Chains A and B, each alone.
Chain A
Amino acid sequence: MVGTFTPSQELARVIDELELVRKTIAARKIQGWGAIVLGATGLIIGSLLNSAVFAIIGVCMALVGIILLLLLGNTSGSYQSRYKQEIVSAALSHIDPSLTISPQSGIREAEFEASQLFATDPDRYSTEDLVRGKAGQTTFYFAEVHAEYKTETPTKNGTRTEWHDIFKGIIFAADFNKNFNSTTIVRPKDLTSSIGAWFKKNIYSFDDSNVVELESDYFRKNFITYSNDQVEARYILTPALMQRIEELNERSAYCISLSFIQSTVYIAFPLVHNYFEPPIFKTLLRENLLADDLNILSFMHGIVQELDLNTRIWTKG
């Protein structure tokens, strides 16, 4: 997807430095977890043999392991931060000098909810690695987001709480090239939404006229489109844009969701992999170190072109 990225001399020096830190972290992690495993084994043997000595040694080893891992906290944090600020930043500049990353920032929960990409509001929300950029006249940003909701089931001993994913992946937002006042949402089609749409269309009492029946067969097969303005939804979703969304969706591993709201287009890309994270047990001194990150960055950067958001022939300019 993107050409190989050759680090500059300065960056190569940083990578060498971080490689030493990585080795230390990896060694400490192995020692820490090793001590915990040995400690647990000691405890089990102690209880099986009824030996207090084994049990005490086991507890001590486990404690040493936990302390070793806790002491790693700061080193790990600084390793992660330097990797993102220096190595991932360089990869961003390689794609486009306008791209910047803020590892601690993301897409705020209020904005995630306001985007209406998903029908459920999260009970637990985390976001990181906000990347901002500008392609032509179009400003855009994206970040990793993990949104979950919880279910509580009463049990004999109290309540059992279970967490379920609403979304895990990257949310992309860009300034849309047309003015609009309505809200239009394109969500993947599933059985529940299909049944809901059928009732809205065919039974008057369920009909709030929000479902938009678009001409594209691909859209009808894969998505359900909702809007509070049927004409404006079609003004946004022209046959050309629907074709481009189809191509974008085909290039994504999982079905995407889109929303057009307050002059912005939001796109949710569900992903399993966590991007921009430094490796711990794999060396930094390998050629394909940033291959996955570069691919996803290049993919996100290409969306502006792919959706033709730089065509500014309407009054928005």
Chain B
Amino acid sequence: MLIVGIIAIAVLLFGIGFYNSLINKKNQVTNAFSAIDVMLKKRFDLIPNLVEVVKQYTQYEGDTLTKITELRGKALGATASEADRLAADQQIGTAVKGLMVSVEQYPDLKANQNFAQLQRTWTESEEQIAAARRNYNASVTTYNNGVMMFPGNMFAGMLGYQTMPVLESTPEERENVSAKALFNS
């Protein structure tokens, strides 16, 4: 009788543990997405300074700068969804990459200390966003495993939890040395 009681308590404790673990995994996914958002905002905040510095030294990059500024406005707009922000970030990344390549034509800009520092910060933010995206995908994978595997799948059914899609890797993440190449261009 005592043994049966101990087993029942152990099963109950494990059940509570698994149940809470599933909720914890779901919360971790939400936190992981917030981390991407924080990193994106940090990167978007660099844009005004970058645009100002580049404007002072270049004559022919007006269109690119306007495009970058517009994309930033769109990403930070009150109606922008998470998906909008991610899409805008990808477009900003491509535009800034093009801008960095054309910097070669402006030796004064290349030699500017502020610009060099901004370039470094930009590179850093790119890797931080990549890290936040990897963290999000790891959290989603852990959550999905919890939802699909026994005994988590029983609680997932009760809570109405479903699997979530992972974020597809960006071209930058696929070639993980791109930040270095960008800086050296």
Q: Which residues of A contact B (CB under 8 A)?
A: 178-179, 201-207, 209, 212-215, 230-235, 238-240, 311, 313-315, 317
Do the beta carbons of A215 and B183 come within 8 Å of each other? no
What's the least CB distance linking A267 to chain B, in Å?
21
What's the least CB distance linking A309 to chain B, in Å?
13
Are A207 and B21 CB-contacts (below 8 A) given A230-B135, A231-B135, A235-B131? Answer: yes
Interface residues of B in 117-143 (CB under 8 A from A): 117, 120-121, 123-124, 127-128, 130-132, 134-135, 138-139, 141-142
Are A315 and B120 CB-contacts (below 8 A) given A231-B135, A235-B127, A235-B128? Answer: yes
State A315–B35 Cα separation when bound (angstroms): 20
State A179–B123 Cα separation when bound (angstroms): 13
State A235–B130 Cα separation when bound (angstroms): 8
Are A231 and B142 CB-contacts (below 8 A) given A202-B18, A207-B21, A313-B179? Answer: no
Are A234 and B20 CB-contacts (below 8 A) given A311-B180, A313-B123, A313-B179? Answer: no
Do the beta carbons of A315 and B117 come within 8 Å of each other? yes
Question: What 0/1 readout, one digit per residue, does chain B (18-36) give for beta carbons within 8 Å of chain A?
Answer: 1111011000100010010
Shortest beta-carbon contacts, A-B, top 6:
A204-B20, A234-B131, A203-B17, A235-B131, A204-B21, A313-B183
Do the beta carbons of A215 and B138 come within 8 Å of each other? yes
Interface residues of B in 1-18 (CB under 8 A from A): 14, 16-18
Q: Which residues of B contact A (CB under 8 A)?
A: 14, 16-21, 23-24, 28, 32, 35, 39, 117, 120-121, 123-124, 127-128, 130-132, 134-135, 138-139, 141-142, 146, 176-177, 179-180, 183-184
What's the least CB distance linking A233 to chain B, in Å?
8
Pairs across A and B, CB under 8 Å, 12 listed = A178-B124, A204-B16, A204-B18, A205-B17, A213-B141, A231-B128, A232-B131, A234-B132, A235-B131, A314-B123, A315-B117, A315-B120
Do the beta carbons of A203 and B18 come within 8 Å of each other? yes
Are A203 and B131 CB-contacts (below 8 A) given A209-B28, A240-B176, A315-B120? Answer: no
What's the least CB distance linking B154 to chain A, in Å?
14
What's the least CB distance linking B135 to chain A, in Å?
5
Q: Which residue of A lies closest to B127 (CB)?
A: A235
State A164–B160 Cα separation when bound (angstroms): 52
Do the beta carbons of B17 and A231 come within 8 Å of each other? no
Q: Of A178, A207, A313, A315, which one neighbours B24 at CB under 8 angstroms?
A: A207
Q: Of B17, B21, B121, which one neighbours A315 at CB under 8 angstroms?
A: B121
Do the beta carbons of B142 and A201 come within 8 Å of each other? yes
For residue B18, which residues in chain A have a CB less than 8 angstroms away from its CB? 202-204
